[in-house]
Amino acid sequence: MFGKKEEVRKAVGKVDTLIGPDAEIKGTISTKGTLRIDGTVDGGVANAEAVLIGEDGKVKGDVTAQTVVVGGKISGNIVASQSIEMLPHSEVKGDINAPQLYIAEGAIFEGNCVMNRRQERVVELEPKSKELK
């Protein structure tokens, strides 16, 4: 359900915190590990390693994590230092910022996207001119 990318497989294998389908959380969740949301969060998520939104999961607020996989709905901005994956039937209404973005057919995205690559150090060498005397 959560894709076949290596980061996603690692994240799904170890879920530190689970918000069940009947849970409703008000306020921002701050966690260092992997968070799976199958219920409703009104307030967002901060500082997570990975955030997995199940098909029935809903988040109203900003999400900040290394990896974000959306199967449900997010109404807010997403900032991911590694990747964002939107699965079929997922919805994101807000701006996203990540170096890698995967959007499956059938996903809905309304907002702006910024994708920054890691900046590699570029060294320019000046050509040496050889003068003959």
C-alpha span between 103 and 58 (Å, rounded): 18
Q: Which residue bears the tokens 């000046």?
A: 126
DSSP string, 86-122: E-TT-EEES-EE-SEEEE-TT-EEES-EE--PPPPP-
Question: What is the rounded (10 degree) CA torsion for 30, 33, 38, 39?
Answer: -20
- Model pLDDT, residue 14: 85
> How confident is the prediction along the chain (133 residues), in pLDDT tens digits per residue?
444 445 444 545 689 999 999 999 999 999 999 999 999 999 999 999 999 999 999 999 999 999 999 999 999 999 999 999 999 999 999 999 999 999 999 999 999 999 987 533 344 444 555 555 4
Q: Which residues pair with 51 in a beta bridge?
A: 35, 68
- Model pLDDT, residue 118: 52
pTM (two decimals): 0.80
The residues spanned by each domain of the chain are 6-114
- In one-letter notation, the amino acid at residue 81 is S
- Which among 89, 86, 60 is positioned nearest to 74, based on CA atoms? 60
C-alpha span between 40 and 44 (Å, rounded): 10
